[in-house]
Structure 1
Amino acid sequence: MHHLDFLDRAAALGHSPLHRASALSKLVLVAAVIGAMLSGAAPSFYVAAMALLLGLVWVARLPLKEFLELLAYPVVFAGVFAVSGLVPAGEARWVVVARSATVALAVLLLFATTFYGDVFAALRLFMPGVLGDVLLLTYRSFFILAREVQRTLTAIRLKGAGRGLALAHHVRTVGAVMGLAAVHALEMAERVHRILALRGYRGVIPAGRAWWRPTPDDWLPILAAAAVVALAAALR
């Protein structure tokens, strides 16, 4: 929850050139990184690309500690895959981890510097509008439910419930809280459905602003995307 809050705050409160660049230009950067990965770039490319992306993290004035903590999640999963024996023959395990970390860093940079509504509006280019809206509502609902669970657990601790009791009681308490959250999630889904119906939902939630419109700061992610392509071509 803390890490998702960090991404949300970073995107909303940042004022760097990367924050001011359009969502479309940053999507071009992410596409360049993914394309370079799929093209079979040399292992040295991932080292260079990571250095470039970390440089953009510095330009965006994002705290490196939180960014590296977020990056640890995909790195751990990639590490598990790398040691699972499913890696193609002749491919180094560290390359699998580096590839995943590079793509994850590009995606995290997108979410940390772009208003979430613009990101999900852009995703509608690649998926049905209804699915994009579902992802948008799920993203926002997660914050509401997570805070509700956190408040409930805090209230339980303040009242001293479960203090000094057996582990089984603590497990039952947490289970009851999660069950309550599930009920609230269903109620929230029903309320959202009614609200959308009353407002005349026809399959697409309007983005509210032109996320695709170019800005004077688009040169930064576009230049970075060109550098990624050049590195992938040179390091083969």
Structure 2
Amino acid sequence: MIRWVLGLIVLVTLSACASNRDLDEAPVPLGDFRLEHNIVIADKAQRGPLSRPATEQQLAAAVKDAMSERFGRYSGDSRYHFGISVEGYVLAQPGIPLVLAPKSALILNVTVWDDAAGGKLNDEPEQITVLETFGTAPIIGTGYTKTAEEQLKELSQNAAKAVERYLVRQQNQEGWFTPDENAPEADVPDTDETARIENTDTAADI
């Protein structure tokens, strides 16, 4: 199934917004959230078609760094943990403009643990699928303009933003975290195509 998704993503052209531009701003409200353990594994990651290679260590380190960068800004009173598995990736190689411009992609399974409760908040892992951030000429693809390391860093930052959106949705819908009474309810940004493909039900059913 993952290979099917990766193969489809290679042929899809979607626009995406840069996901790390808001890191200098106050984080979106997540109540008493504080990330304690940030565990990322990539031992079963599948390399998609037309992808540059990446090692298990490179994949895990990039995702771990991006999660720490985004969620290290939270300083709530309650501890939560991430268990993340990298399921698949595409780091686009140079293609033929107007004929084949592969798109980079990353697929993660994310489980959130509540330290105080001693258990998972989501019984089943949430699958997150993100694409690369395109510039002014998406038909070319980043295989021409970025190294594999740069592609992976960008994808990991997009994935961290996607996880943040997921936590905001769960907070608003399920009340996962004790709310801060002085903070406004968090909005769930869903204005770009990245947010659409992040919807795991759609991706997983392909």
Q: TM-score range by the shorter chain?
A: under 0.3
Q: TM (normalized to structure 2)?
A: 0.28
Relative contact order higher in (CA < 8 Å, ≥ 6 apart): 1
Which structure carries more strand by proportion? 2
Q: TM (normalized to structure 1)?
A: 0.25
Say which one has the larger Rg.
Answer: 1
